[in-house]
Structure 1
Amino acid sequence: MKTIFITGASSGIGREAAQLFAANGWQVVATMRNTAKAGELAELQGVTLMALDLTNPEQIRETCQKALEQFDIDVLFNNAGYGIMGPFEKLPENEIRKLFDTDVIGTMLVTQQFVPHFKQRHGGVILTTTSLAGIVALPRDGAYGAAKRAQQGMVESLYYELKPFGVQVKAMIPGGTKTNFQTPVNILDGYEDVARRQREYLLQGNSDFPEPAEAAQVVWTAATDGEDRINYPTDSVCQKLYDQYVSMNVEDFKRYFYGIIYGEKQG
């Protein structure tokens, strides 16, 4: 039986992935800050709950080592994280530090715990939920986008470090996903129209964002397809936006996207 270790499994993509892998006969180590929020995950066969707060280095070490002692982990899925949004100069310092402690430092510390295991067994998959905001810069995402680019940088560096050991390293890239994704800081202040046009762009004519179940299916694919590939947009809408970005010169895209979000003609 194969085993996946998931952070941030209490909701959204992490929860859907835990349910999907369990339904396919995998052992799932589902971690979250508060295991009381596990809900039906606690009743699923093959699911083991563990408490994990990415801002607690000691707990990261203890929980990861406990999981590695109990299970031969095949896949690490770094999924936990949240966002803050606002004009860059208005983002509070303490909120920026909290964001990086969770999304960047916490994710890195978890990954460090698993790298020796994967190198020793000469195989495994490390998946990390980054974001389209880590690929395409968005207004009011100066801190969140920077955190996600840091994660993306970690993924790409580890790809080169771990490929000789037979370990795959991949980025799961959501755009907008219909989840309860937490943005405890969300400041508009003069960017109301920009935010509206940005949302319209990310929706691509749809009435709502894709469901997390679609993203979970992409996580399953990335974990099991054996492909030598780094980036996996997690739904068809994000795939379209990602393909558009990588097909354009960065300077051309800059002008194109500026025109969209500020309602000006594209030239």
Structure 2
Amino acid sequence: MSGTILITGASTGIGRTTAELFLNNGWNVVATMRSPENAGDLADHANVLVTRLDVTDETSIASAVDRAQSRFGSIDVLLNNAGYGAYGPLEATPMEKIRRQFDTNVIGLLAVTKAMLPIFRAQTSGTVINVSSIGGQMTFPLGTLYHGTKFAVEGLSEALHFELEAIGVKMKIIEPGMIRTDFGGRSFDFSNDETMSEYQDTIQKLFAVFGDAANGGSDPSVVADVIWQAVTDGTNQLRYRAGADAEEFLDNRKNLDDATFIAGLKAQLGL
């Protein structure tokens, strides 16, 4: 199987690794990113189009989709991967950061999807893959904004799968656990106010646990392999987990009542 995949956030991490996997399997890849100069050697391949796409800029979305169609004709798969995590006490988070988190992870994802749907509807085929997280089914402290966006991605994706089925389009949700990417770097936006002393103990304990978990997280290739499976397995399966910790956390969340699951998580975090 081969075709054309458009990937948002393709410069690093899961997006970059997935672009390389599909490229190595004979696909055309539309590698979109806010700063195309960061594409590196991806731009050297004849069947790769590197183009600018900022999910918060509708003009850039339309331009990227137009360029992809002009270059490759059809587009078979949309991978909504671009996003980041805003963490910290809500009280310490400026409203502009709150809006930016939802504009990027939710509104931006919807905008890119909406731009692609006329193409898929005309083709009567296509696959939309939304990268969610275990954080779309469960939460960690201080993740009000990030988890809010990922719970939204889960809900909108599940709802979309009904209407997209009518035009021949499949909807898939990917739920990674902790992955060794730059999520703790440029893709991580933390807000704090140290004068709010009541929150600082929780912050320190969460950082200690997250640091250890990130160092032991799965390689981005684990997620790329699951995305490949979702595209090529020929099923209508909606959700796919990625990583051993994703399996463990999501099984526990499914099988335990709220009080038991939350108590266990607090014990793990030392809260």
TM-score above 0.5, yes or no: yes
Q: 1:184 aligns with which of 186, 189, 197?
A: 189
Structure 2 partner of 1:58:
59
CA RMSD of aligned residues (A): 2.0
Q: Larger deviation: 221-230 or 31-40?
A: 221-230
| 8 A Cα contact 1:127 1:170, kept in partner | yes
Matched, 1:199 2:210: yes
Q: 2:120 aligns with which of 118, 129, 132?
A: 118
Query: Runs of 5+ in structure 2 lacking a partner?
Result: 193-198
Structure 2 partner of 1:174:
176
Q: Secondary structure at the match of 2:98?
A: helix
TM-score by length of 2: 0.89
Structure 2 partner of 1:77:
79
Which residue type is aligned with residue 241 of structure 1?
F
Structure 2 partner of 1:41:
42
| Rounded Cα–Cα distance in structure 1 between residues aligned with 2:47 and 2:143 | 38
Q: How many residues align?
A: 260
Which residue type is aligned with residue 9 of structure 1?
A
Which residue type is aligned with residue 220 of structure 2?
P
Matched, 1:90 2:92: yes
Runs of 4 or more consecutive aligned structure 1 residues displaced over 4 Å after TM superposition: none
TM-score by length of 1: 0.90
| 8 A Cα contact 2:6 2:31, kept in partner | yes
Structure 1 partner of 2:156:
154
Matched, 1:247 2:258: no
Kindly provide the CA deviation profile for residues 63-109 of structure 1, in whole angstroms up to 9, marking residues without a partner as x.
Answer: 22332343311100000011111012111111111111111111110
Distance 1:229 1:249, change over 3 A: farther
Distance 1:101 1:226, change over 3 A: same
Structure 2 partner of 1:136:
138
| 8 A Cα contact 1:65 1:113, kept in partner | no
Which residue type is aligned with residue 30 of structure 1?
A
Query: Runs of 5+ in structure 1 lacking a partner?
Result: none
Which residue type is aligned with residue 43 of structure 1?
D
| Rounded Cα–Cα distance in structure 2 between residues aligned with 1:4 and 1:142 | 32
Aligned residue runs from structure 1 range 218-257, under 5 A: 218-257=226-265
Identity of aligned residues (%): 34
Q: Using the TM superposition, give the Cα deviation of residue 237 of structure 1 relative to its aligned residue in structure 2, in angstroms.
A: 2.2
Matched, 1:163 2:168: no
